[in-house]
Amino acid sequence: MSGPAPAVILVRPQLGVNIGACARAMLNFGLTDLRIVAPRDGWPNPDAGPAASGADSVLANARVFETTADACAGLSLIFATTMRERDLTRRVVTPLQAATEFHGLATQGGLMFGPERTGLLTEDLAVAHAILTIPVNPDFGSLNLAQAVVVTAYEWYRQSLAITDDVLVNHDGPAPHEELEGLIGAVDAQLAANGYYNPVQGRADAARLIMRNLLTRPEFTAGEVRTLRGIVRGLSRKRHE
């Protein structure tokens, strides 16, 4: 089915709130292996917990390493996330491609993210197999750390579900034919009685067809048809009746 969930490697992160937000984003999309390289403010960081909003298990199981290379132990395919072009002859993939490649592996891969302001150094990139670049507005490309994690994790999770992107139908399906016919008949009778149809030859038939299409196209459920019959009665009721 799908490959193991990739590890997230945060290289020299600065703010505890960002580490917590990354943990939350990871767990939202089924990632649990958090590896932290040389966090600026040490570890554990009291700001991380509140920002994780319940993803405490990810923080509790996080491992801290001194170097980026150490943090990559046991991982196979590692993508380094960067916004800028580098003087490196690495291939560059999108989040979608990276997720596809992870799912094609039998082994665990990794997603590497740099510090908030400066991004990854050339030495960090050297540990990665390829570059992952998130497509962003070229005029405003500064992506928050946790939000970069969100995008890559979302792509992995989406593919792990093998989401079809078919519309998920959340309703009962259309009413039985005769119930819709009952509604159309009621509308038609009331419109005819009220002189709605143009008497010009053929125009009444065209108007009836438009009305029928209008009431058929939405695939009203049986419950909706019942409500509509009530509304039609309500609309056509004489005042002070």
- Interface residues for a second copy in 29-58 (CB under 8 A)? 29-30, 53-55
C-alpha neighbours within 13 Å on the C-beta side of residue 80: 27
Tell me which residues in 85-124 interact with a second copy (CB under 8 A). Answer: 85, 88-94, 96-97, 100
Choosing from 127, 131, 180, 183, the residue that interacts with a second copy (CB under 8 A) is: 131
Minimal distance in Å, beta carbon 66 to a second copy? 28
How many whole angstroms separate alpha carbon 190 and alpha carbon 236?
7
Minimal distance in Å, beta carbon 9 to a second copy? 20
130-132 vs 63-65, strand pairing mode: unpaired
Does 146 sit near a second copy (CB under 8 A)? yes
Q: How many other CB atoms are there within 10 angstroms of residue 209's CB atom?
A: 10
Sign, CA torsion 26/121/95/143: positive
Choosing from 112, 145, 150, 175, the residue that interacts with a second copy (CB under 8 A) is: 150
Tell the burial category of 61 from Cβ atoms under 10 Å away from its Cβ (0-12, 13-18, 19+): exposed
Tell me which residues in 159-188 interact with a second copy (CB under 8 A). Answer: 161, 163, 165, 167-172, 187
Minimal distance in Å, beta carbon 65 to a second copy? 25
Choosing from 2, 14, 28, 108, the residue that interacts with a second copy (CB under 8 A) is: 28
Choosing from 64, 143, 184, 204, the residue that interacts with a second copy (CB under 8 A) is: 143
Closer residue to a second copy, CB minimum distance, 165 or 178: 165
Strand order in the sheet with 130-132: 63-65, 34-37, 7-11, 110-113, 78-81, 130-132, 92-93
Closer residue to a second copy, CB minimum distance, 67 or 144: 144
Choices 8-16, 27-35, 105-113, 176-184; region in contact with a second copy by CB under 8 A: 27-35
Tell me which residues in 194-233 interact with a second copy (CB under 8 A). Answer: 194-196, 210-211, 214, 217-221, 223-224, 227-228, 230-232
Structure tokens at 71: 């943090």
- The site that binds a second copy (CB under 8 A) totals a number of residues, namely 77
Closer residue to a second copy, CB minimum distance, 42 or 84: 84
How many whole angstroms separate alpha carbon 28 and alpha carbon 189?
54
Q: Which residues contact 3 (CB under 8 A, 6 or more apart)?
A: 102, 103, 104, 105, 106, 107, 108, 109
Sign, CA torsion 168/170/174/176: positive
